[in-house]
Amino acid sequence: MTVTHFSDAPLSGNTEATWPSMPAHRLSVVVPMYNEHESAKPLIDAVQSALSAYPHPWELIVVDDGSTDGTPKILKAHGAQVGPHIRVVELRRNFKQTAAMQAGIDAARGDVIVTMDGDLQNDPRDIPKLVARLLNEDLDMVAGWRHERQDDLLLRKIPSRIANRLIRKVSGLDFHDLGCSLKAFRADVLKQIRLFGEMHRFIPAWLATVTSPARMAEEPVRHHARLLGQSKYGISRTFRVIVDLLAMHFFLRFGSRPGHFFGGIGLGVMSLGGLILAYLGVLKLFGEDVGGRPLLLVGFFGVLVGFQFLTTGVLAEIMMRVYFDEGKAQQYHVMPQVTLADDAAWHR
């Protein structure tokens, strides 16, 4: 995997001639936030400063994930002052980061979507180089790599290293920092997947179900220490990642064919139970008493449990077909908002 380094010089105030050369496109920056009232205004200012001279149309979509500390009020008030290209999507309650990110992706109108955290640790000045590499190298995703991460060793770095190692092992993707939220995507590829639960940690793995890992890359990005607000993560995240990894492993291998998973277990258990009953049947023919043997119960329940697994597989197949046919599952609910025309409210 090729990794290139770019200058740390500020991008704000640059002329179009100094920007990385890239094909024409429209850019949507998606930022989920939850109880980040101290960071709300600085975040908008940081993105506006970094992209004020961006040579292509862009918009900032900030998704408030049911904050209770006044974050949405600050976002909407300051966003209105900066310009109509600052859009605030307000969820009705706290649906967690994955649902908030999906809400922002659904609201994005750009050809390229960049996701980032709202705690000011990601640097929006890195957005142009991610987008330039995505488009110039004809990739579907470029993930940020916090190669000089400014976080607490015990509570953030160690859990992140453990989680990254587990994710790499299960997904087979050779990325250094799968947990970095700063990523650039082609919108038409990203919108082919739906994010549920806490899948935002595994977007590259899910993306590999619709595109080749060869069309993904990572890019070193700047990372800043958290100065405002309080982190929502800790050592407990490692345990949640383990549970999520089991679910991800199942869906990646059997998501579209759950009958193979349950059916395989069912046939195995049923076959074992059948062999036990056949063995006991042979003994019975030779006059031995098998009615009081515990092995009889094992064989009987083996056949019964195996049959239940088989029927569960059939039901799971039916449910998956309904899911894929409908495609209307919704894991978040937003407050009423004005619908924008496709060519309206872009920063140009």
Task: Give the side-chain half-sphere CA count within 13 A for 57.
Answer: 13
Output the pLDDT for position 318.
79
**Burial, 61: exposed, middle or buried (Cβ in 10 Å; 0-12, 13-18, 19+)?**
buried
177-223 pLDDT tens trace: 777 889 999 999 999 888 876 777 778 888 887 888 889 999 989 87
Percent of the chain with pLDDT over 70: 76
CB atoms under 10 Å from CB of 211, counted, come to: 18
Q: Is the pLDDT of residue 78 over 70?
A: yes
In this predicted model, which residue has the larger pLDDT, 279 or 241? 279
The CA distance from 186 to 213, in Å, is: 14
Give the domain ranges of the chain. Answer: 20-254, 258-326
Output the pLDDT for position 148.
67
Mean pLDDT, range 54-63, rounded to an integer: 95
Contacts 24+ apart (CB under 8 A), 146-153: 146/177, 146/180, 146/221, 146/223, 147/176, 147/177, 147/220, 148/222, 148/223, 149/177, 149/223, 150/121, 150/223, 150/224, 150/225, 151/121, 151/223, 151/225, 151/226
In this predicted model, which residue has the larger pLDDT, 266 or 232? 266
Judge contact between 8 and 222, C-beta under 8 A. Answer: yes
DSSP SS3 for 268: helix
Output the pLDDT for position 275.
94
Output the pLDDT for position 199.
75
The CA angle 151-41-204, to the nearest 5 degrees, is 50
Q: Which fold has domain 20-254?
A: Spore Coat Polysaccharide Biosynthesis Protein SpsA; Chain A (3.90.550)
Nearest to 243 by CA among 176, 307, 167: 167
Output the pLDDT for position 9.
38
Output the pLDDT for position 208.
81
Q: Is the pLDDT of residue 233 over 70?
A: no
DSSP state of 334: B
Range in 9-23, 292-306, 308-322 with the lowest mean pLDDT: 9-23
The CA distance from 84 to 344, in Å, is: 9
The CA distance from 246 to 252, in Å, is: 10
Structure tokens at 144: 């940020």
Structure tokens at 263: 């059916």
The two most distant CA atoms of the chain are separated, in Å, by: 95
**pTM reported for the whole predicted model:** 0.73
Structure tokens at 4: 């290139």
81-138 pLDDT tens trace: 999 999 999 999 998 888 899 999 999 999 999 999 888 888 999 999 999 999 999 9
Contacts 24+ apart (CB under 8 A), 313-322: 313/258, 313/259, 313/260, 313/261, 313/262, 313/263, 313/266, 314/259, 316/258, 316/259, 316/261, 316/262, 317/257, 317/258, 317/259, 320/255, 320/256, 320/257, 320/258
Kindly tell me the sign of the dihedral angle through the C-alpha atoms of 166, 170, 175, 180: negative
